Chains A and B, each alone.
Chain A
Amino acid sequence: MLEAQPIRRDDQAMTQIDYEKAGALIGIEVHQQLNTKTKLFCNCPTEIREDDPHFTFLRRLRPTQSELGEVDPAALFEFQKGRVHIYQNYDDSICLVEQDEEPPHLLDEEAVNHALEISLLMKSQPVDEIQVMRKLVIDGSNTTGFQRSVVVAFGGEIDVNGFKVPIQTIGVEEDAARKIQEKGTKTYWRLDRLGIPLIEVATAPVMKTPEQVQATALRIGQIFRVTGKVKRGLGTIRQDINVSVKGGAIIEIKGVQQLNLIGQVVQYEVQRQVELLKLRDELKNRGVRSGQIKQVVHDVSKLFQKSTSKVIKASLKRKEGVYALVLPGFAGLVGKEVQPGRRVGSEFADYAKFWGDVQGLFHTDELPNYGIIADEVNKLRRHLKAQDADAIIIVAASKSASTDALKAVALRAQQALKGIPAETRGPLADGTTRYSRPRPGAARMYPETDVAPITVTKKRLKRIRQGLPELPEEKLQKFHEEYHLSDELANIMIRSLRIDLFEDIIKKHPKLAVTAASTLETSWRNLEREEIKVDDIPEEQVLLLFDRLAEEKFAKEAIEDLLTWLAQHPTQTVDKAIQDLGLGVISKDELKSIIEQIVEANAVMVAERGDRAIGPLMGLVMKEVRGRADGKLVSELLRSAVKAQQQS
């Protein structure tokens, strides 16, 4: 009933994945900004700004240590490299709370209510007392170094095309600051987004195919939307997807923004994991052992003094060098594809770029190429005493950056023998993913002692329960049965961005439901295709348009013309549009005489073609009266006029 968009099948290899055999288990977390007046822990507006920031300040975040001495290795690494964060601010819309210069205010009640409402819609059980937690996030996206997060409900389930998907938790958390740019060791963030409440719904990892995941995400998004309490538009919704296959580890892909990319991401990720397991098996077959992969970095600069490779030339000119790492038994495997356009070498390069400040790497599976000639590769092999079965990784950068990078590659290569390293990955535009950091251990959370817990009273739940909106399938049924929309149109409508407007129209004019639906979807899209900015028309004018239609001030054939005119004159009214376009409805007598004139003028055609003249004549008449007369009436009158002409 609620069907997901079909997944792109542009890659033949993709369709051959046997998800059952791979044992894929997938869960998702859907986050969407709540449309609240204020932020979650202060009274600042939830507004994203593009004007120039008023001032900035600089901070460093220190990885804090747990009792067990654990420190997030990626965070520690960034700290040691001297990572600083520059936060951009606006005097009039950002306060000391976002700047981490004042303790948080109380948890925003409006956000809690929205989240409770969504929880009840998903049959999730609200907690008795909401506890605010701090979840450590040390990448700079939160000025505090942690994200404040609460769980408001546990359990529940949603129905996705008959498939029951259990919900694990529903929560609310602060949105992060927006990353503006990264320059060397400086990261620039803007604090406008920090603190906007996000609803977070996490499903159990029970989905087995990309289609199920995409349909589930769509379904969760629909339930969010029926409440009317979430923000819209790109950037307001983000999905995290966790994927594991049998024999692998959990991979978390964070921050997929486009709904229709989800299926693709899952597909490619399962493929990647299956390929990595095959890689492991092949390495085992070749007898490669972890101990053979040594973190030994060789300075091979002297072999490349005359190299024509641009990257190498530039590095030597900067007085840096060329460094190499031998991967025993890896020949032919580094070039192995794990995702379309991404090879094992790309996985290595991700680690090299993250842990060492290098632009990229070369590997012998792709050489000679990129200005590196066969002679250089041969010399390199001889110099490092590498066998034909071995692969060599090369980077051209400073000694310390190259060492960090190649050691990271060696570690990653060792992990290849075990299979799939647990990682957090980020999505790329085509649905493939890139390593972003190691997956943190158990989420490190501790209580936010600056914010008091909130009791969820029975009274409060009752009040929310009374105001619960209809679910999409209830709406679908209503559109279909009460308003006689076709299956197709009803389905389109419940997914429409203009569903609220549609419901406002049909509340007043139930008989115009079909016209309203096709106007808001079919006509809308036709006009958008012609680059007419229909979205600029104020909603109240669209409502008024249907009032006038109900009053028969114009005929429905004129709707597109009216919308066009209104889009071009967004400050004007429907009444002005009707007047300007000369759309007053003509009387039946007047219509009759127009038709008779046209039939008479085309008497020859009527004589020659008889009834078959009605088609072309209809066109001529409609050209004259479009928007001012009902098409059905025109056809009726024309038919009798032609008959009369034939008899005369």
Chain B
Amino acid sequence: MQVTTMTFSVEPCNQDTVIVRIGKALDFRNAAEFKSTCQTQVRSGARNFILDFSETGILDSTGLGSIFSLYRQVSPLEGQVVFASVSRPVQVVVQLTRTYKVFRQFPSVDAAKDALV
């Protein structure tokens, strides 16, 4: 019985690539919802995920964990998870956990689109 108040908007790019807008926060309050949003996308064929962090002020370890789950789901399918417009708080978490080796980063959603689509 998770408290869910936020929703994630998803914008399809092409058949197997989608953009997910993370919004202000991805943390223990909405990580379950993020997971299920992404799962729905994977089920309908999405493989590449562009996560838009332009507005994100909070990314806690539960939130990051939900991104990791997504990564483990799509990487056996040759999919990718990339980060776009990474804000400073997100950058700090990515640095600490050394996960920039796994998640490619792009200055903007458009740049990520160019690289993936």
A binds B: no
